[in-house]
Structure 1
Amino acid sequence: MDTPIASILMVEDNLGDALLLKEYLAECRFACTIRHCRLLGEALTALAAKSFQVVLLDLILPDSKGLATFNSVHQRAPGVPIVILSGFSDEELASQAVKLGAQDYLPKNDITGLQLARTIRYAMERKKAEQVLHQAKEAAEAANKAKDRFIASLSHELRTPLTPVLTQVQILERDPTLSTEVREAMTMIRRNIELEARLIDDLLDTTRVASGKMELRPQVVDVHSLIRSSVEICRADIDRKGLRLELDLSAAVPAICADPDRLQQVFWNLLTNAVKFTPAGGVVSFATCNPTPGRVAVTVSDSGIGIEADLLPRIFEPFEQGGRGMTRKFGGLGLGLSITRSIVNLHEGLLTVHSDGEGTGSRFRVELKTVAQEVIAPSSGRIPRQAAAARLRILLVEDHDNTAKVMTLLLTGYGHEVTHARTVADAVARVAERVPELLISDIGLPDGSGLDLMRRLRSEHPELRGIVISGYGGAEDIDDSRRAGFSRHLTKPFNDRALQEAIERVTAADGTIARAAEPRT
């Protein structure tokens, strides 16, 4: 195989040194072509006209001195390796150039042909390796972005058909004309739909944690309020199994700086696990205390099946459920505790677990920093019923016909006046006829985006408030909603309580964007 010929640009104002370097390369039979330039300007012109594999560069030239010479060449041809040719007095400059990106430097007074050829060859090989690594990194980043887009799209496609089913089931669940048996069947269907939605959320949260994209929106909140909200959400499951719930909220300082929705997700995960693994008639408890000044501890205990000693070290690992038998018996993906630990870690907290073994129950403890308690912002708990919204004129913009039908049924059941539009153009026309008091809109519409719709309507009607309903629920999606002017972002499928609470908060609060209070169901 023929040895490839290297294309070299030599930038050297001393003709004697340039001739000597050419002779060195010829003596050691280094296959190359050399373009010689005496001035920086001449070299920059050559680099613009032709591709070179390496540049041999003297830093001291008639028209440029020092690091400015290197910077000019490096900026003109950032992908070409540069070897600095240094005199006795400018080796320090050459060393600085290497720190800035030059591949190597050679003292002119101590160069041999073999050394020069080896340095050029190594410079080209290192640059090629850097380029291969950079391309691999770009490919990996592109693949990761493609994966994120796929997961987000998959989530949207899985969530959208669940929304009308969940909404319709909740309407039937409260219908007094149906028999008790039918309403109980509706409750069973609802629980399984909510379980499906939680599994989707767990998968998404796992990918967010793995990619470092789980973000927090901290504010000062009351731990006790979040605990009570979690208990309220799980109350039906607790009662259904006949469990005794014990609350000992003794912490004198319960105020912390945290993302209320994410932290409620932590308490809800721990409580649902306790309920899940505790047999009927057992005991589940929540307790708080201040173990040391500046710290609050929340302990969730149960009298359930316990955790075997060999499983304890792995209990917070993704997909860990204690064996196939446990998975078959209790279901789930084994992601809840892994996500819970990640959320606690993001809050600079500590999550620990203790169990004396099988049949002895378990105890999970979350420890967090406290803050001054002068002002505690509203948590993600429910707002009082007396603050509920009055009858509103609502414009519902939703192109999924089944979702639009059941949403209209649900909202009119609340007493609101609902107008439906399928497209951006239709929505704009409806607003021209009569301005609504509240906009509830999907993001993806046949002729545009719900975000663009909100921006347009808010420019004409600044007082208009809005709620997003979307199958996309990532941090970036929520930020996009906020920037467009929406006050609340509900991720499909959401239950009727989350929708009603969102309406109450939007009509009662200052319009700050937030996630739905309902923790990821």
Structure 2
Amino acid sequence: MLKFLLLEDSPLDADVTLATLIDGGIDCELWQVDTRDEFVTALEGDRFDLILADYALPGFDGASALNIARSICPDVPFIFVSGSLGEELAIESIKQGATDYVLKQRLERLVTCVYRALREAQGERDRQRMVRAVRESEARFRCFAKNSRDVIWITDAREYRLIYVSPSYEEVWGRSADEIYRDLNNFLDSLHPEDRDRVCTSWQQCNQEVVIQEYRVIRPDGATIWIRDRGFPIRDEAGNLLYIGGIAENITERKQAEAEREQLLERERTAREEAEEANRIKDEFLAIVSHELRSPLNPIVGWTTLLQTQKLDRDRTDRALNIIARNAKLQAELIEDLLDVSRILRGKLSLNLTKVDLARIIQAAIDTVRLAAESKSIQIQTTLEPNISMVSGDSNRLQQVFWNLLSNAIKFTPAEGLIEICLENLGSTARVTVSDTGKGIDPNFLPHIFDYFRQENGATTRQFGGLGLGLAIVYNLVQLHDGTIKADSLGEGQGATFTVELSCTNSFPQPEPNLKSELTEDLSGIEILVVEDNRDTREMITFLLEQYGARAIAVDSARAALNTLTHSQPDILLSDIAMPEIDGYMLLRQVRALPPERGGNIRAIALTAFAGEIDYQQAMSAGFQQHLAKPVEPAKLVKAIISLTMNNE
């Protein structure tokens, strides 16, 4: 078992040091001392394989401990383990004879340093044994050298000539030893060109002191290996220099491991920085989401309270209702943006491809934003080339693309500004550009303009609202259409230009059958079972359906719905999904298990706040014919009911 001496005044730090050594597989006995006298007594009274020392102790410092150790046992490796050793002090300590140093904050290096120190100490002892072997018996020396994996070499100190190199040279270098016996310059020729001059300079010091250096060797097969070479002077008893010897160790595997470790650490640092940045961006985004979703609630709650508690005149009432409707629509649009992002990220956003006239799509988008532009006296100029070929696309999603681009342009363009939208034919490609005279885009932010969860200004003092998801959604919608989009800006205050390119084609998918012309908004004669656990929502839906002529049976649970079906045969089941005890999915499965005469084949619509693509698929799998997301426009709900009724006729 190895015996280590530890100079340390902290019992806790001593325990941590011992635990680290044991965990590293070092079987050792650790003697702890904390005063100068104890340190000297231990060194004089016993033999240690290694000395570990703190640098700062009460009344005793590491430099003094090092000097004492060098005088009593100069061949024992000495490693500082300290929490207060600066870089300059550490370098000076190495110069004074310390083997290495380890910061307590990075104690994971200790095991590696100990192994290296022990290995170097062993190497030093090997060197001394080699010198004795040369003096005592050349035969014994050659036997030792022959069985060493390291390359042992000896040169004449007065002549530039190799006297001996161990057989392992040919295995490590991949060259014949005869080459360097014949001419030692052949050794230099084997070195990597970048290391050659440094090695030559360092070896000149070997006649005075031990020189340790690492260099690369290029083998004849082209492989590059790393060598750690320890050169030293060999003197006679009178101190006269006779030879220069050395031990060369192949450390290629260690170097590769170090390089891989550094690469891994760098990747980990990069990944950590990226993760921290992503978390910061997401936290900032969530704060914006909270703000933007709460903001419309303020006028909704405020005006609702006033309508309930105050007697407002007709004009003020109409204004209040308009404000409530506008902010409710704004909140619905924010939620829809979030749902679009969720669908895109999960690859669940699908397109209904038909033949699309881009000019009409652009004009529809302009009509949608015209009032917003007029409120800021912003002029929208259009240049739409005639006879542009049709594109294959989803008309609603393409209108969403250009509506977003125009809305952004209006948002970031000051009053009395100018927005230009141009549609031009590039042969097989249609190009749409949207340019504005607005605030422009910072060049540093431009590469991130289409990123999720990124806004140029996420501070609480930002001037422009919104979630900042619009351009990310636009980018992905264009990608889904096999198109391209790019953003250009000369900088802040210089406006911005967005360019969309879509491929024209003569081959189009068949459009979905359009039942719009066949639908009316009359639900007379239709009996609808409404299942909704929220009282306010249940009352609103019931009132809405009755306004369109339907007979509505409203219940607050799945059990009540199943009970209703025992004595009633409604035409449509309109059910929420998230309900206590039995949810909408389980309700419909139980309904479908009923015989047809008891409503087992009833047509069913899921009306739910679970609005993702996966929720749609789950509703269809459960047996619903349609899936509508809350909040739902009354007209959309009525059309869904009529559509189900007509499809069943």
Coarse TM-score class (shorter-chain normalised): 0.5 to 0.7
Read off the aligned partner of 2:626 and give its amino acid letter. R
Q: Which runs of 5 or more structure 1 residues have no equivalent in the other structure?
A: 5-146, 512-521
Residues 1:349 and 2:477 aligned together: no
Aligned residue in 2 for 1:445: 579
Correspondence 1:199 to 2:337? no
Is 1:396 matched up with 2:530? yes
Aligned equivalent of 1:477? 615
Choose which of 247, 253, 257 in structure 1 pairs with 2:389: 253
* Residue of structure 2 equivalent to 1:429: 563
Q: Secondary structure at the match of 1:344?
A: helix
Q: Percent identity?
A: 34
What CA distance in whole angstroms lies between the structure 2 residues aligned with 1:415 and 1:287? 47
Q: CA deviation at 1:482?
A: 2.1
Q: CA deviation at 1:243?
A: 5.2
Q: Secondary structure at the match of 1:443?
A: coil
Secondary structure (helix, strand or coil) at the match of 1:363 reads strand
Task: Point out the more displaced range, 471-480 or 273-282.
Answer: 273-282
Alignment of 1:75-224 (within 5 A): 179-206=314-341, 209-210=344-345, 212-222=346-356, 224=358
The separation in 2 between residues aligned to 1:411 and 1:456, in whole angstroms, is: 25
Distance 1:509 1:305 in 2: 52
Please say if residues 304 and 362 of structure 1, whose CA atoms lie closer than 8 Å, have aligned partners that are also in contact: yes
2:471 aligns to what SS in structure 1?
Answer: helix
| Change over 3 Å in CA distance of 1:363–1:449 after alignment to 2 | same
Over 3 Å counting, the alpha-carbon distance change for 1:449 and 1:198 in structure 2 is: same
| Alignment partner of 1:486 is 2:624 | yes
The answer (yes or no) to whether the contact 1:387–1:508 under 8 Å persists in 2 is no
1:443, distance to aligned residue in structure 2 (A): 0.9
Which residue number in structure 1 is paired with residue 496 of structure 2? Answer: 362
Q: Which structure is richer in relative contact order (CA contacts within 8 A, separation 6 or more)?
A: 1
Partners in 1 of 2:373 and 2:638 — Cα distance? 24
Contact 2:573-2:605 at 8 Å conserved across structures:
yes
| Partner amino acid, structure 1, of 2:315 | T
- Show the counterpart of 2:410: 275
Deviations 1:438-460 (A, max 9, x none): 33211122232323333454563
Give 2:427's aligned residue. Answer: 292
Q: In structure 1, the residue corresponding to 2:560 is in which secondary structure?
A: helix
- Give the deviation of 1:181 after TM superposition: 2.5
Tell me, in whole angstroms, the C-alpha distance in 1 between the residues paired with 2:609 and 2:378. Answer: 35
For 1:433, what is the secondary structure of its paired residue? coil
CA contact (8 A) 1:222 1:376 kept: no
Amino acid at match of 1:440: L
State how far apart, in whole Å, the 2-side matches of 1:444 and 1:325 are: 36
Counterparts in 2 of 1:286 and 1:458: CA distance versus 1, 3 Å = farther
- Are residues 464 and 272 of structure 1, via their aligned partners in 2, closer, same or farther at CA, if it must alter by over 3 Å? farther
Contact 2:533 2:557 in 1 (8 A): yes
Q: How many Å separate the matches in 1 of 2:356 and 2:600?
A: 33
Deviations 1:443-486 (A, max 9, x none): 12223232333345456357643332212122111111222333
Q: Is 1:415–2:549 an aligned residue pair?
A: yes
Secondary structure of the structure 1 residue equivalent to 2:553:
strand
Task: Note if contact 1:216-1:262 (Cα within 8 Å) is conserved in structure 2.
Answer: no
Q: Establish whether residue 321 from structure 1 lines up as the match of residue 459 from structure 2.
A: no
Q: Which deviates more from structure 2 when the two are superposed, residues 187-196 or residues 436-445? A: 187-196
Taking the aligned partners of 1:482 and 1:340, their CA distance within structure 2 comes to 28
2:94 matched to which residue of 1? none
Question: Is the CA contact 2:354–2:508 (under 8 Å) kept in the aligned structure 1?
Answer: no
Match of 1:183, SS state, is helix
**Aligned residues of 1:469 and 1:489 also touching (Cα < 8 A):** yes
The one-letter code of the counterpart of 2:320 is A
Aligned CA distance change for structure 1 residues 452 and 178 (closer, same or farther; 3 Å): farther
| Secondary structure at the counterpart of residue 637 of structure 2 | helix
Distance 1:220 1:267, change over 3 A: same
Counterpart in 1 of 2:242?
A: none
Which residue of structure 1 lines up, in the alignment, with residue 51 of structure 2?
none
Say which of 637, 643, 646 aligns to 1:499. Answer: 637
Q: How far apart are the structure 2 equivalents of 1:503 and 1:442?
A: 15
Give the structure with higher Rg (CA). 2
Q: Does the Cα contact within 8 Å between 2:523 and 2:545 map onto a contact in 1?
A: no
**Structure 2: 5+ residue runs without aligned partners?**
1-21, 26-281
What CA deviation, in whole Å up to 9, does each residue of 1:283-302 have, x standing for no partner?
Answer: 55655444232x44444444
Query: Within 2, Cα distance between the matches of 1:379 and 1:237?
Result: 34
Counterpart amino acid of residue 187 in structure 1: N
What letter matches 2:324 in structure 1? I
- Residue 377 of structure 1 is matched in structure 2 by 511
Report if the CA contact (8 A) 2:419-2:436 is conserved. Answer: yes
Q: Distance in 2 between matches of 1:291 and 1:442?
A: 50
Q: State whether residues 355 and 508 of structure 2, in contact with CA within 8 Å, keep that contact through their aligned partners in structure 1.
A: no
Report the Cα distance in structure 2 between the residues aligned to 1:350 and 1:464, rounded to whole angstroms: 46
Residue pair 1:424, 1:453 contacting (<8 A) in 2 also: yes
Query: For the Cα contact (< 8 Å) 1:221–1:378, is it kept in 2?
Result: no
How much is the aligned-residue C-alpha RMSD, in angstroms?
4.7
Question: How far apart, CA to CA, are the structure 2 residues paired with 1:291 and 1:232?
Answer: 26
Paired residue secondary structure (1:320)? coil
CA-to-partner distance for each residue in 1:203-245, whole Å, 9 max, x for gaps? 45445555x4443244335254655665565566456556555
Question: For residues 298 and 488 of structure 1, do their structure 2 counterparts lie closer, same or farther at Cα, with a shift above 3 Å needed?
Answer: farther
Give the AA of the match of 2:618: D
- Pick from 317, 335, 338 the counterpart of residue 469 of structure 2: 335
Q: Number of residue pairs matched?
A: 354
CA displacement 1:137-170 (0-9 Å, x = unmatched) = xxxxxxxxxx9xxx9xx99xx99x98xx89x98x
Kept in 1, the 8 Å contact 2:527–2:572? The answer is yes
1:406 maps to what in 2? 540
State the match for 1:35 in structure 2: none
Distance 1:451 1:329, change over 3 A: same
